[in-house]
Amino acid sequence: ADARRDLRLAREWGLREGAPTLAVPGNGGLDLEKIKETLKKNDLTIDLPANHPLVINPRGFRPGSVHQDTFFKSIPLVLDKFPDAFFVCTAMQGQSEAEHWVKKLGIQNHIRLLPYLPQEQLWQLYARSKVYVSLSSHDGTPNTFLEALACGCFPVVGDIESLREWLTDVENGLLVDPKDPQKAAQAIIAALSSDEWLMKARQANQQMISERADVNVIRAQVSEFLKRFQ
């Protein structure tokens, strides 16, 4: 499974005693060397405003689990405190729901709705952004979450069990009620208010990712796990 939560549930639902289990990222781990090389290129072609703190939401629309209505409603509240903040949303270009919220809230000048992006462009976009937002009430361990942390983004995410496996609230991210725009906005504002805090969290998260999500670490764990079946 990609979260220890799912292994816990499996046991509660009847997985036999002593059955082999393993929790690893669902993407097989991150190629951190490739990410580092990509970020060195600094050739992102997406036109974004300079000298504006960027907040990225790459989750697209997942009805019932990711609460994008909460995210959009939080934006005007953030702009009241940080009027120069700029929001970038991948996998939302041409989506009627996203366009509805942008128009209804009058935030056209503060947001960019982008299509699905090639992986390397997404990594560079994470590196340009200060805050990663994923307001889910039901989730495993999103690949976007791990990649954002690897690229230095500060996470503001739904307070759910699978993400508490990676984050300690305040210490290396903020866990919020994913259905409360006020709480989401407060978390984003708090993150944008302290570069020193973000730097400490970035260092801690990148160390954690190298220890728990690096592709070489995961391959070794999976290899040892599969030997149990030989």
Per residue in 129-157, pLDDT (tens digit) is 999 999 999 999 999 999 999 999 999 99
Does the pLDDT at position 67 exceed 90? yes
- Compute the residue count for the chain: 230
Q: How would you class 95 by CB atoms within 10 Å of its CB: exposed for 0-12, middle for 13-18, buried for 19 or more?
A: middle
Which residue spans within the chain are E strands per DSSP? Answer: 54-57, 86-89, 111-113, 131-134, 154-158, 174-176
Its pTM stands at 0.96
| Mean pLDDT, the chain, integer | 97
- Binning pLDDT at 50, 70 and 90, where does residue 43 land? confident
What digits encode the pLDDT tens for the residues 83-139? 999 999 999 999 999 999 999 999 999 999 999 999 999 999 999 999 999 999 999
Query: How many CB atoms lie under 10 A from the CB of residue 13?
Result: 7
State the burial class of residue 55 (Cβ atoms within 10 Å of its Cβ: 0-12, 13-18, 19+).
buried
CA trace torsion 186, 191, 192, 196 (10° rounding):
150
The type of residue at 161 is E
- Return the percent helix, strand and coil in the chain, to nearest 5: 50, 15, 40
Nearest 10 degrees: Cα torsion 56, 58, 60, 64: -90
pLDDT tier for residue 230 given thresholds of 50, 70 and 90: confident
- pLDDT per position as a tens digit, 170-214: 999 999 999 999 999 999 999 999 999 999 999 999 999 999 999
- pLDDT score recorded for residue 35: 97
- Residue 42, pLDDT score: 81
Tally of CA atoms within 13 A in the half-sphere of 44 that contains its CB: 21
The tokens for 115 are 């299509």
Copy the structure tokens of residue 166: 């990676």
